[in-house]
Structure 1
Amino acid sequence: MAANLRNPPLHVSMETVVQTAVERGYTAQGEMFSARDMALLAEEVCVCRVELLSGGMGGDNSRTILTHLCEGQPVLIPYDEDLNHEPCQRSGHRAHWAVASGVLLGLAPGTVNKEHTEPDPTLPWLLLPRVSSFPRPSPGLREAYILAKQGKSLRYQLWSLDSLAQSNDQLREMAPLRAGDGTPYVVPQEGVEAGLSGQVVLLHTGALTQ
């Protein structure tokens, strides 16, 4: 999904992604418990520059993530997936990856630079970025929602940045049933928490430059 959001779009089959990950030793069954490995895999199969962000999705990192999305660039985010695909907190027992590709920002009146936006034709209160001109998160930001999709979901969803950040921050362990089922998995030596908690992968779209 992230490869399709690349500029220009790159069509990569699931078989290619999984085969590459297995050959590099990042996964055994399709699992991905290391954000570092996910960054290396994304850099290879999406052929773009990739940045691993750690330290959680709050504070300065939240601004970095929102700005990245406002610029039309995707973010890969590990989180606990609820039955409706939305973020939840299960200590990592339902850890999955989602692709974020957009934002909905709630801004205080009078803080929007109208030079960079235009009203939606059907919802005048909804301001859309003009082509080639992306608004940045401003001091008037009151709330933020992430447009994201998990691989098993049929549609994109809007998740609050706070709920996604909380889910991302509490990824601590593999589900006990999976850990004890006798199936080999690739888990970082330091554990799931060190591999996933508080980390996201930023994809800088466009061809990789040397």
Structure 2
Amino acid sequence: MAGTLLSPTSGIPLERLVQVAKERGYTAQGEMFSVADMGRLAQETLSCQTELLCGGLGGPNRDLVLQHLITGYPLLIPYDEDFNHEPCQKKGHKAHWAVCAGVLLGVQSVPSLGYTEDPELPGLFHPEPGVPCRPPSMPEEGFPGAVFLLSKQGKSWHYQLWDYDQVRDSNLQLTDFSPSRATDGLVYVVPTGGVQAGLCGQALLLRPRESSN
């Protein structure tokens, strides 16, 4: 899904991604418990630049994430998936990946240049394609309901808007390997240090290789 966002005309079949991941020793069943391995897989198969984000999605990383999404590039985030695909906190037992393709910001005012109001939803503004625009002032961290990530999980048919803080908190508590997986008789690739070392507080920024941003 992230590859399609980076280069809509050059889709990589999922089977090819899994094949390469197995050949490189990143996965056994299709699981991916290492953000670093996911980055290496993306570089090889999607011909893109990747940036591994550590230390959670809050603090200084928050501005990096928001600016990245505003620029139009995708973000891959491991998180615990609830029954409705939204973020929850299960200590990593429901760890899955989501791709974030955009951001919805609740702001006090919209810059006058480079944005157009949605014809059907008053108060919703979109950047004008091809027009340089100044990003609006970012909502302060911790201000409830001000930042939502346009996100999709592979098993869902639709994108959803997830509260940024809920995604941040879910990503920051990925610590344990699922007990049900540990006893299902299958073999999984788990990095040294376990799920916590491989996923907790980490995310992956993807950019086209030709980009200098």
Pairwise same-fold verdict (TM > 0.5): yes
Measured after TM superposition, the shift of residue 63 of structure 1 is 0.9
Closer/same/farther in 2, CA of residues 135 and 8 from structure 1, 3 Å limit: farther
Cα distance in 1, alignment partners of residues 211 and 103 from structure 2? 25
* Structure 2 residue 195 is matched with structure 1 residue 197: no
Measured after TM superposition, the shift of residue 7 of structure 1 is 3.6
The residue that corresponds to 1:30 in the other structure is 30
Q: Tell me if structure 2 keeps the 8 A contact 1:77–1:100.
A: yes
Closer/same/farther in 2, CA of residues 140 and 80 from structure 1, 3 Å limit: closer
Amino acid at match of 1:19: Q
TM-score, length basis structure 1: 0.93
Amino acid at match of 1:84: N
Measured after TM superposition, the shift of residue 128 of structure 1 is 0.6
Aligned counterpart for 1:128 among listed residues 106, 126, 129: 126
SS at structure 2 position matched to 1:203:
strand
Measured after TM superposition, the shift of residue 205 of structure 1 is 2.4
Amino acid at match of 1:124: P
Q: Tell me if structure 1 keeps the 8 A contact 2:92–2:175.
A: yes
Matches for 1:106-117 after TM superposition, within 5 Å = 106-108=106-108, 110=109, 112-117=110-115
Q: Aligned residues: percent identity?
A: 51
Closer/same/farther in 2, CA of residues 176 and 70 from structure 1, 3 Å limit: same
Cα distance in 1, alignment partners of residues 77 and 15 from structure 2? 21
Matches for 1:1-210 after TM superposition, within 5 Å = 1-7=1-7, 9-108=9-108, 110=109, 112-132=110-130, 133-136=132-135, 138-140=137-139, 142=143, 143-207=146-210
- 5+ unaligned residues in a row in structure 2: which ranges? none
1:13-62 deviations in whole A, cap 9, x for unaligned? 01001001000100000000000000111111111111111100001111
SS at structure 2 position matched to 1:107:
coil
Cα distance in 2, alignment partners of residues 139 and 118 from structure 1? 18
SS at structure 1 position matched to 2:113:
helix
Size of the aligned set, in residue pairs, is: 207
- 5+ unaligned residues in a row in structure 1: which ranges? none
Closer/same/farther in 2, CA of residues 170 and 140 from structure 1, 3 Å limit: closer
Cα distance in 2, alignment partners of residues 134 and 186 from structure 1? 44
What is the Cα-based RMSD across aligned positions, in Å?
1.6
Q: Give structure 1 regions of 4+ aligned residues with deviation exceeding 3 angstroms.
A: 139-142, 206-209
Q: Tell me if structure 2 keeps the 8 A contact 1:149–1:157.
A: yes
TM-score, length basis structure 2: 0.92
Cα distance in 1, alignment partners of residues 106 and 17 from structure 2? 36
Cα distance in 1, alignment partners of residues 111 and 157 from structure 2? 34
